[in-house]
């Protein structure tokens, strides 16, 4: 039977072929010569999340990629020493509550183990003192008065896995992260900042959208000013005149001319927060600025040239606003040269220590180095859902700095509002009657891996743990019996 005017090529029959009527049907799945798709790259690492006695020191990330063992010891300064064989290292921490040889992480056949080495004050996971346990991605444990986070997760394609110990780089605070996906995203953002490409920032309220816009301006090298305006905070009747300016006599009360924010940002950056609130007329005028590089003040027939970089932000998805007809598609196309995503704080557990260190230095610049966190305060900071994101963390730390009696911050100083009561747990749209079974099924599939369940359900690990506590579900009960997570060494 000809195919496209040519006889088909004959293949060699095998067990997968069959005869249909008078035709031999040869089946072939895939291309034998094609390269198989690359396997996802996993990376095991340990993060020194918070040193309770000196939280302003920030976090340190230690790669376990080329190691078989990492020892945890008390030392004079924080740092990593390499063993002679190249497959072992020692992480030393200046923690007086640690023993000289406190604990170790060891690579097993399929997982990493955490083992206490007979320390005086012990090693604990979720408040339980342990001798030896299997670690899974997202496990938090304490040695002495230091909280650490174990990660073993897939990294984004193209991510260059670092070796040894790393901390946040010399970049603006808002771009500091120890999360591989965010590191990659922020690196792209830094390159975009040096161009003239417009940027749209999306993130929940309190995630730091204006700080990110300021960082983009700082990295752009533009000599002009950074000018910010919240489009949702200005009355609609005043928005156009404030943005684009006006001539004298343009309307009643316009006794003097006004340059407007666009012209004020000439040579610099104009940050338009909550741009989804921009009314249609203002959207059309902003489109002219982006397309033609000019602005026409109210009451003027002449357009004025402007050189301005636009950075816009919204807590809403602008694409949905476009689909609903509430936002111009051509304006969105001009604005979204690059879309920057700021995840909520509840999804940034790896960065909690980085954020705490930066915020303490901001709210208590003279005393940050002397501030200590009691263990109950650290536990509260780790468990809180942060509905108001980084802004809420900053307010909690500021309150604690003011209310503390001495250098130690206790849980009551943080004044974090508690999450939902047990009987009023927020199921985030899920059917409360079906959620326990859904959680159990997911935990069974992942063998008790809370982080994997969180990813599968699109939630933060802290949310999954709250639901488990609410419904009396123990993730440890779903662990692989072969791994014997609770085995005492």
Task: Encode pLDDT of 73-86 as tens digits.
Answer: 999 999 999 988 88
Which among 261, 269, 268, 264 has a CA at the least distance from the CA of 285? Answer: 261
Q: What is the 3-state secondary structure (H, E, C) of 85-103?
A: CCCEEEEEECCCCCCCEEE
Contacts of 231 (CB under 8 A, 6+ apart): 239, 272, 273, 274, 275, 276, 277, 278, 282
Look at residue 220 and tell me if it is in a domain: yes
Tokens of 277: 């609130």
**Whole-number pLDDT of residue 389:** 95
The answer on 221 and 124 residing in a single domain is no
Question: 114 and 70, same structural domain?
Answer: yes
Is there a contact between 244 and 295 (Cβ–Cβ < 8 Å)?
Answer: yes
* Residue matched to tokens 């986070």: 149
Instruction: Specify the pLDDT at position 391.
Output: 96
Look at residue 422 in the predicted model and tell me its pLDDT.
34
Does 205 share its domain with 127? no
Could you tell me if 385 and 332 lie in one domain? no
Domain encompassing residue 99: 42-166
pLDDT at position 481, please? 52
Q: Are residues 161 and 194 in the same domain?
A: no
Q: From residue 35, how far is each of 11, 30, 41, 156 by CA, in Å?
A: 22, 10, 17, 20
What phi, psi does 480 have (nearest 5°)? -65, 115
Residue 232 CB burial class (10 angstroms; 0-12, 13-18, ≥19):
middle
Q: Counting every residue, how long is the chain?
A: 489
- Residue 425 CB partners (closer than 8 Å, separation 6+): 432, 466, 467, 470
Q: Are residues 213 and 111 in the same domain?
A: no
Of the candidates 342, 362, 387, which is a domain's last residue? 342
Residue 458: per-residue pLDDT? 75
pLDDT value of position 468: 85
Q: In whole angstroms, what is the distance from residue 228 CA to residue 261 CA?
A: 8
- Burial code of 423-432, b = ≥16 C-beta within 10 A, e = fewer? eebeeeeeee
Choose the final residue of a domain: 394, 414, 434: 414
Which residues in the chain show pLDDT less than 70? 1-34, 247-255, 299, 418-432, 480-489
Inside any domain, residue 438: yes
* 6 falls within a domain: no
In three-state secondary structure terms, 30 is coil
């Amino acid at each position: 039977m000809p195919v496209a005017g040519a006889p088909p090529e004959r293949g060699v029959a095998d067990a997968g072929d069959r005869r249909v009527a008078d035709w031999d049907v040869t089946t072939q799945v895939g291309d034998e010569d094609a390269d198989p798709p690359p396997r996802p790259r996993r990376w095991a690492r340990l993060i020194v999340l918070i040193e309770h006695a000196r939280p302003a020191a920030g976090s340190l990330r230690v790669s376990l990629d080329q190691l078989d063992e990492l020892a945890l010891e008390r030392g004079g300064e924080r740092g990593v020493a390499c063993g002679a064989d190249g497959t072992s290292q020692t992480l030393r921490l200046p923690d007086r509550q640690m023993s000289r040889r406190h604990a170790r992480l060891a690579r097993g056949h399929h997982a990493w183990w955490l083992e206490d080495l007979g320390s005086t004050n012990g090693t604990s996971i979720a408040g339980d003192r342990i001798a030896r346990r299997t670690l899974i991605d997202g496990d938090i444990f304490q040695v002495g008065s230091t909280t650490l986070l174990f990660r073993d997760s897939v990294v984004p394609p193209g991510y260059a896995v670092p070796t040894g110990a790393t901390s946040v780089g010399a970049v603006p605070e808002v771009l500091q992260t120890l999360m591989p996906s965010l590191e990659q995203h922020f690196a792209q953002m830094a390159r975009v900042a040096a161009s003239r490409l417009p940027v749209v920032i999306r993130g929940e309220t309190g995630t730091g959208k204006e700080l990110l816009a300021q960082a983009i301006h700082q990295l752009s090298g533009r000599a002009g000013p950074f000018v910010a305006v919240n489009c949702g905070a200005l009355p609609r009747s005043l928005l156009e005149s404030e943005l684009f300016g006006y001539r004298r006599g343009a309307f009643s009360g316009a006794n003097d001319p006004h340059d407007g924010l666009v012209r004020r940002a000439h040579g610099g950056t104009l940050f338009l927060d909550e741009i989804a609130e921009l009314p249609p007329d203002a959207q059309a005028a902003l489109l002219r600025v982006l397309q033609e590089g000019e602005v026409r003040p109210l009451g003027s027939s002449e357009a004025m040239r402007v050189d301005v970089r636009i950075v816009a932000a919204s807590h809403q998805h602008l694409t949905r606003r476009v689909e609903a007809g509430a936002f111009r598609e051509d304006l969105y196309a001009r604005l979204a040269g690059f879309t920057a995503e700021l995840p909520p704080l509840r999804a940034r557990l790896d960065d909690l220590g980085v954020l705490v260190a930066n915020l303490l230095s901001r709210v208590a610049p003279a005393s940050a180095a002397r501030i200590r966190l009691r263990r109950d305060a650290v536990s509260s900071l780790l468990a809180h859902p942060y509905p108001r994101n980084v802004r809420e963390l900053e307010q909690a730390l500021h309150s604690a700095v003011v209310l503390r009696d001495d250098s130690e911050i206790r849980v009551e100083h943080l004044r974090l509002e508690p999450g939902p009561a047990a009987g009023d747990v927020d199921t985030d749209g899920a059917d409360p009657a079906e959620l326990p079974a859904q959680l159990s099924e997911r935990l069974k599939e992942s063998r008790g891996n809370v982080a994997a369940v969180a990813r599968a359900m699109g939630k933060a690990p802290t949310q999954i743990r709250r639901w488990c506590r609410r419904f009396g579900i123990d993730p440890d009960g779903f662990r692989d019996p072969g791994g014997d997570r609770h085995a005492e060494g």
